[in-house]
């Protein structure tokens, strides 16, 4: 009993210590801002440009089906994040939730998987940004990997400075970038509907299972589709900076995933209809430019290049937020160097984490120039990132079921939305993780599994140093909601107060 009390006291002391440090700026983002961040995080135009040829190459005409059948379990993961975010507001998101429900080791590896995936994406996202920028001026220059890398690095540094400047500046930039991108994509949806002539007639079988090459083929397609959707969970990493985040973060993720699903399906079907398999294969990351030229010759390709470039830059920004907020939470918990938890006095951003990510990414830019063409780098990176995504999304799905286990039988709604659907999502994520390993090339597997394995080193180091993260306060929804019940009544004004008192969150 004494030992239990001592551990509880240590946890309380650890949290109190963190509370005295400077934190992120609260209440910066509203509901609309957070929805925009969720859509930008999934990067509709970039995902379509960077991944369509990879997806079509893997599953052919079944590309729309892969996106559809990945969206259903992915929605279960969105529900899991939403429900976990109601009982634990933390910039580390799954890093905190998995650690407090399943095991701290799994929690750390969940956060580490996001950090590795996002860091790899710094290169995978910046290269197309540079390539597309060059393509606006000269298509031949876009094939120069070294030049594309240099221009992409320039975009990356620009977004790094925006993220360093604070959440308010980040949101304003995102509203412009994502707003123009979505406007161009909607115009092209209308253009495709009016387009005459096609490479293939639409067939409802594209949404069925008939075009998959067995279970392994389906898993390969689903792994790539998971990369399409990845990024909506930036809303959870921004929860400490969002107004009413216990409700807003989950709602924004649901709306965001719905918007990008419709865009993904529409454009993937359009690519199947308008372009031949040969054009898609040779188009690579320029497949949307080919679609644009086919729909609106002359100007269409340039417009979609602009949309993809804006989308790429926008998702670089949201990915930077995810990785730096995750590292901030790890530094704050002393599971990574404590300096990563430092917050800039003026901008209220984790400036050390941002600086470290920037330095590592720039080193990776140099290494990327020796790896081959932009297409080769993208293909290996997409598959490797897919493994990381499936891993930490799967753990979050299980964490939600464990956290809400005492409440799942209260109603059919609780059982389906809080238990069955997140569990199906988690099972699906782990299935595509293991099923796809046999079909991936050595580079993708080495990056994906090697990146995860590298996390064992800091895990063991800071565990041995006694970080309080490894002695967690268990996360249980029933207890959390019971503790919150006294505050669920209409807020009372304290004598002499201004009526704006707020409750402390779990972080």
Token pair for residue 165?
């400047």
The CB-side HSE value for 22 (13 A sphere, CA atoms) comes to 13
Token pair for residue 125?
């996202």
* Cα–Cα nearest to 121, from 320, 285, 354: 320
What does DSSP assign to residue 90? -
| pLDDT, position 285 | 65
| pLDDT, position 484 | 64
Q: For the domain that residue 326 is a member of, what is the CATH number? A: 1.20.1740.10
CA gap 291, 458 in Å, rounded: 46
Whether residue 18 is contained in a domain is answered as no
179 by Cβ neighbours in 10 Å (0-12 / 13-18 / 19+) ranks as middle
Whether residue 333 is contained in a domain is answered as yes
Whether residue 1 is contained in a domain is answered as no
* Contact by Cβ (8 Å): 206, 269: yes
* Contact by Cβ (8 Å): 227, 386: yes
Q: How far apart are the first and last CA of the chain?
A: 26
| pLDDT, position 351 | 93
Whether residue 437 is contained in a domain is answered as yes
Angle between helices 421-437 and 63-87 (to 10 degrees): 130
* Contact by Cβ (8 Å): 212, 205: no
CA gap 418, 412 in Å, rounded: 10
* Contact by Cβ (8 Å): 192, 271: no
Neighbours of 474 (CB within 10 A): 9
Whether residue 499 is contained in a domain is answered as no
pLDDT tens, the chain, 507 aa long: 334 433 443 443 344 334 345 678 888 899 999 999 999 999 898 888 878 888 888 888 888 999 999 999 999 999 999 999 999 999 999 999 999 999 999 999 999 999 999 888 877 777 778 877 888 887 777 777 778 888 888 888 999 999 999 888 888 999 999 999 999 999 888 888 877 666 677 888 888 887 787 777 788 788 888 888 989 999 999 999 999 999 999 999 999 999 999 999 998 888 888 887 777 777 666 777 778 888 888 788 788 888 888 998 898 899 999 999 999 999 999 999 999 999 998 888 999 999 999 898 888 877 766 665 555 556 667 778 888 999 999 999 999 999 999 999 999 999 999 999 999 999 999 988 888 787 777 778 888 888 899 999 999 999 999 899 999 989 988 888 777 655 444 433 333 333 333 333 333
190: containing domain: 24-471
The structural domain count of the chain equals 1
* Cα–Cα nearest to 21, from 298, 252, 350, 317: 350
Helix (H, G, I), strand (E, B), or coil: what is residue 93? Answer: coil
CA gap 248, 29 in Å, rounded: 9
CA distances from 19 to 12, 16, 333, 341, 346 (A): 10, 5, 11, 12, 18
Place of tokens 């707003």: 179
What does DSSP assign to residue 4? H
* Contact by Cβ (8 Å): 93, 85: yes
Whether residue 44 is contained in a domain is answered as yes
pTM: 0.84
Whether residue 33 is contained in a domain is answered as yes
Token pair for residue 319?
């990915």
Whether residue 502 is contained in a domain is answered as no
What does DSSP assign to residue 62? G
């Amino acid at each position: 009993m004494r030992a239990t009390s001592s551990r509880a006291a240590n946890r309380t002391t650890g949290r109190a210590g963190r509370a005295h440090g400077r934190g992120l700026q609260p209440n910066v983002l509203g509901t609309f801002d957070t929805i925009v961040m969720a859509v930008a995080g999934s990067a509709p135009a970039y995902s379509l440009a960077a991944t369509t040829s990879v997806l079509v190459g893997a599953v052919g005409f079944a590309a729309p089906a892969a996106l559809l059948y990945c969206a259903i379990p992915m929605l279960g993961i969105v529900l899991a994040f939403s429900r976990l975010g109601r009982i634990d507001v933390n910039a580390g998101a799954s890093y905190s939730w998995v650690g407090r429900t399943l095991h701290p080791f799994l929690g750390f590896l969940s956060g580490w998987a996001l950090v590795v995936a996002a860091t790899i994406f710094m290169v995978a996202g910046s290269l197309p940004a540079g390539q597309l920028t060059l393509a606006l001026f000269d298509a031949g220059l876009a094939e120069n990997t070294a030049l594309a890398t240099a221009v992409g690095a320039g975009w990356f540094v620009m977004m790094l400075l925006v993220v360093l400047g604070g959440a308010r500046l980040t949101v304003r930039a995102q509203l412009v970038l994502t707003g123009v991108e979505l406007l161009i994509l909607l115009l092209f949806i209308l253009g495709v509907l009016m387009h005459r002539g096609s490479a293939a007639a639409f067939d409802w079988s594209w949404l069925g299972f008939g075009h998959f090459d067995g279970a392994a083929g389906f898993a390969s397609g689903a792994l790539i589709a998971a990369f399409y959707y990845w990024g909506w969970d930036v809303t959870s990493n921004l929860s400490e900076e969002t107004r009413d985040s216990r409700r807003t973060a989950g709602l924004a993720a649901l709306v965001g995933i719905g918007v990008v699903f419709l865009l993904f399906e529409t454009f993937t079907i359009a690519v199947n209809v308008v372009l031949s398999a040969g054009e898609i294969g040779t188009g690579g990351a320029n497949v949307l430019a080919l679609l644009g030229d086919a729909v609106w010759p002359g100007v269409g390709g340039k417009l979609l290049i602009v949309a993809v470039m804006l989308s790429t830059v926008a998702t670089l920004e949201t990915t930077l937020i995810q990785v730096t907020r995750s590292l901030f939470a790890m530094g704050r918990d002393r599971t990574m160097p404590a300096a990563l938890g430092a917050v800039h006095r003026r901008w209220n951003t984790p400036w050390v984490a941002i600086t470290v990510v920037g330095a590592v990414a720039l080193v990776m830019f140099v290494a990327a120039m020796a790896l081959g063409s932009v297409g080769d780098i993208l293909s290996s990176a997409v598959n490797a990132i897919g493994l990381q995504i499936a891993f930490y999304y799967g753990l979050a799905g299980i964490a939600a079921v464990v956290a809400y286990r005492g409440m799942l039988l209260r109603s059919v709604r609780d059982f389906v939305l809080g238990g069955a659907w997140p569990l199906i999502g988690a099972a699906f994520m782990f299935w595509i993780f293991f099923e796809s390993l046999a079909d991936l090339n050595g580079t993708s597997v080495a990056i994906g599994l090697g990146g995860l394995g590298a996390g064992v080193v800091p895990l063991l180091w800071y565990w041995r140093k006694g970080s309080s993260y490894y002695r967690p306060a268990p996360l249980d929804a029933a207890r959390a909601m019971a503790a919150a019940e006294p505050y669920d009544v209409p807020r009372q004004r304290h004598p002499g107060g201004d009526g704006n008192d707020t409750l402390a969150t779990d972080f």
